[in-house]
Amino acid sequence: MTAEPGNAAPPVLTRLLVPAGLLASVAGAFAYVGAVDPNEPGHYPACPLLRLTGVYCPGCGGLRSAHAFVHGDFAAALGANALAVAGYVLFAAVWTVWVVRTVRGRPLRITLGTAQLWGVGVLVTVFTVARNLPFGSWLHP
């Protein structure tokens, strides 16, 4: 008895093309930000919300955080945008699980329920509000 050609699983290297492509894109972006310093004016546009209102958005300091992270200065990365650093670590963990599951031939299914989505929204909102209040000045980029 032979297996039907349509039911055979694709080879491991073929299954790894999408995770590898995503990693290459993210690595390229980090390499660019690591090479072009966002601390020097004129390289990147300013945050429009910060420029117009003086309010730090949740992404303010993200480029400086990525630049410091690439250069191994994790304290400066946390100081620029702690939420972004948490995002880098979360991305690395999820990507690693994705690759391991892909190699094993099992798909990765991430389903976030209503409670998890609300939790993420509350976390981002609290981070944004806290970094704009006087007691949260240590969260300023």
Q: Give the tens place of pLDDT for each residue, 32-52.
A: 999 999 988 888 888 899 999
> Which pLDDT score is estimated for 10?
75
Q: Could you identify the residue written with the tokens 């329920």?
A: 113
Which contiguous run of DSSP H or E holds residue 59? none
Task: Say yes or no to pLDDT of 9 above 80.
Answer: no
The per-residue pLDDT for 1 is 46
Please tell me the predicted confidence (pLDDT) of residue 8. 63
Q: How confident is the model at residue 6 (pLDDT cuts 50, 70, 90)?
A: low
**Per-residue pLDDT band at 119 (split at 50, 70, 90):** very high
pLDDT of 4 above 60: no
Contacts of 83 (CB under 8 A, 6+ apart): 58, 123, 124, 127
Query: In this predicted model, what pLDDT tens digit does every residue of 52-102 receive, in sequence order?
Result: 998 999 999 999 999 999 999 999 999 999 999 999 999 999 999 999 998
- Per-residue pLDDT reduced to its tens digit, 123-132: 999 999 999 9
Residue 85: Cβ within 10 Å count: 19
Is 60 exceeded by the pLDDT of residue 121?
Answer: yes
| Residue in the structure block whose two tokens are 């391991």 | 100
